[in-house]
């Protein structure tokens, strides 16, 4: 029994295996082939924060694999009234076959996993978003192959942390363009893992030769109080059509939800370079691969 808490929990071989499974499942779905490999299995989806893509893609993934999914809102459970995580984990382990959890604090997910005898999957924390970047690997592979140069623009946040670790594991070259003070907190870990990641302050220099431009919101969930300061600090780091021209006919990615006119312009979202909606679709195919691997 294993958990998926950090993308660094997986080896290169395991990640490439997930990629292969996701590719096959995507083709199967197009042909209308569905295998009920998770029949009689139930996944709990525990959310302390809102979600559109993670929630829907995990739920549909479970249903299409023949299993069940329970959407559990934190505040509807006794958790919301202070029941300890460790009791919740022990009880859930007796009813279910897996837990996907989105929590404010990464430590909450670590604590849940510590007391769970069933697999725990991180569906986003303040530190990482491993399922997102696994799905992004499918998008990058489909569009640019496995030798892509990736430039991240904006906040070195949870998604960025997982992406630099993924790049370190797979050997992608990555540049993070961010203002001072917004570097990804797992940068030193990525470098220790042998990652080819560097920080660049100038967005134009950062995107030179990039095959992939990737951005995310400047104000993540839980950072609403810092909105004004962040909007000021990130000025100049938005993906505009002008910036896209400095790169190598790149694909433009965003994990969504997007704030048009902040980190990305509407023209870029609507341009031929954008693969953002395909990227969102790929969450479904990769979620299935993850579920088969961890719950199967
Ligand atoms: N990208 C992502 O995780 O989206 P949701 O917050 O809608 O799940
Ligand atoms: N960085 C964003 C990602 C949302 C999917 C957040 O944490 O809010």
Residues 18 and 91 in one domain: yes
Annotation marks residue 160 as catalytic? no
CB 239 within 8 A of CB 207: no
Residues 120 and 163 in one domain: no
**pLDDT tens figures, 53-62:** 999 999 999 9
DSSP 249: S
The full DSSP string for 260-290 is: BTTTB-HHHHHSTTB-HHHHHHHHHHHHHHH
- Distances in Å between the alpha carbon of 171 and those of 147, 194, 237, 278? 8, 8, 25, 24
Residues 233 and 251 in one domain: yes
How far apart are the CA of 101 and the centre of ligand 2, in A? 14
Residues 149 and 53 in one domain: no
Contact residues for 265 (Cβ-Cβ < 8 A; gap 6+): 238, 239, 240, 241
DSSP 4: B
Query: What average pLDDT does the segment 98-111 reach?
Result: 98
pLDDT for 178 equals 98
Tokens of 175: 């540049």
H or E element at residue 251: strand 251-254
Residues 60 and 115 in one domain: yes
User: CB of 106 closer than 6 A to ligand 1?
Assistant: no
Residues 156 and 267 in one domain: yes
Query: What average pLDDT does the segment 66-81 reach?
Result: 97
In ligand 1, which atom is closest to the CA atom of 50? 6
Please report whether residue 2 resides in a domain.
no
Please report whether residue 1 resides in a domain.
no
H or E element at residue 210: none
Q: Which of 3, 53, 283, 285 is catalytic?
A: 283
pLDDT for 272 equals 98
User: CB of 274 closer than 6 A to ligand 2?
Assistant: no
- Residue from 181, 173, 129 nearest 151 by CA: 173
Please report whether residue 93 resides in a domain.
yes
**pLDDT tens figures, 188-227:** 999 999 999 999 999 999 999 999 999 999 999 999 999 9
Residues 272 and 219 in one domain: yes
Number of domains in the chain: 2
Residues 274 and 141 in one domain: yes
CATH number at residue 176: 3.40.50.1370
Annotation marks residue 106 as catalytic? no
Distance in angstroms (rounded) separating the CA atoms of residues 112 and 124: 14
pLDDT for 39 equals 98
Distance in angstroms (rounded) separating the CA atoms of residues 281 and 151: 22
User: CB of 159 closer than 6 A to ligand 2?
Assistant: yes
pLDDT for 124 equals 99
Percent of the chain with pLDDT over 90: 100
pLDDT for 33 equals 98
Residues 142 and 155 in one domain: yes
Which residue range forms the structural domain that includes residue 159? 131-279
- Distances in Å between the alpha carbon of 197 and those of 164, 185, 188, 240, 268? 7, 13, 10, 23, 25
> In this structure, which residue's CA is closest to atom 7 in ligand 1?
52
Residues 245 and 275 in one domain: yes
Please report whether residue 71 resides in a domain.
yes
Query: What average pLDDT does the segment 167-180 reach?
Result: 98
Band (291; pLDDT cuts 50, 70, 90) = very high
Looking at every residue in the chain, the average pLDDT score rounds to 98
Residues 61 and 118 in one domain: yes
Please report whether residue 234 resides in a domain.
yes
Distance in angstroms (rounded) separating the CA atoms of residues 238 and 227: 16
Query: What average pLDDT does the segment 157-186 reach?
Result: 98
How far apart are the CA of 202 and the centre of ligand 1, in A? 28
Residues 151 and 270 in one domain: yes
Nearest-ligand number for the alpha carbon of 132: 1
Band (146; pLDDT cuts 50, 70, 90) = very high
Tokens of 199: 């920080």
Tokens of 182: 């917004």
- Residue from 161, 139, 132, 190 nearest 121 by CA: 132
pLDDT for 13 equals 98
pLDDT for 142 equals 98
pLDDT for 163 equals 98
- Residue from 252, 154, 263, 141 nearest 203 by CA: 154
Band (27; pLDDT cuts 50, 70, 90) = very high
User: CB of 187 closer than 6 A to ligand 2?
Assistant: no
């Amino acid at each position: 029994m294993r958990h998926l808490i950090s993308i660094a929990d997986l080896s290169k071989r395991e990640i490439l295996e997930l990629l292969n499974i996701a590719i096959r499942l995507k083709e199967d779905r197009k042909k209308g082939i569905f295998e009920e490999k998770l029949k009689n299995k139930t996944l709990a989806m525990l959310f302390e924060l809102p979600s559109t893509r993670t929630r829907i893609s995990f739920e549909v993934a479970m249903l299409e694999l023949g299993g069940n999914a329970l959407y559990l809102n934190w505040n509807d459970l006794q958790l919301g009234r202070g029941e300890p995580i460790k009791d919740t984990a022990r009880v859930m382990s007796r009813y279910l076959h897996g837990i996907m959890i989105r929590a404010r604090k990464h430590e909450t997910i670590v604590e849940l996993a510590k007391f769970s005898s069933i697999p725990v999957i991180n569906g986003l924390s303040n530190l990482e978003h491993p399922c997102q970047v696994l799905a992004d690997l499918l998008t990058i592979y489909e569009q640019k192959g496995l030798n892509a140069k990736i430039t991240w623009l904006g906040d070195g946040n949870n998604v960025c942390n997982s992406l630099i670790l993924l790049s370190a594991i797979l050997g992608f070259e990555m540049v993070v363009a961010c203002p001072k003070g917004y570097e990804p907190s797992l940068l030193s870990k990525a470098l220790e893992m042998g990652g080819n990641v560097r920080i660049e302050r100038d967005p134009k220099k950062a995107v030179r030769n990039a095959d992939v431009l990737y951005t995310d919101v400047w104000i993540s969930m839980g950072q609403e109080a810092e909105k004004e300061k962040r909007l000021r600090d990130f000025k100049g780091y938005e993906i505009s059509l002008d910036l896209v021209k400095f790169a190598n006919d790149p694909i433009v990615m965003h994990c969504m939800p997007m704030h048009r006119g902040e980190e990305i312009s509407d023209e870029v979202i609507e341009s031929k370079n954008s693969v953002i909606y395909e990227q969102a679709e790929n969450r479904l195919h990769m979620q299935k691969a993850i579920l088969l691997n961890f719950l199967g």
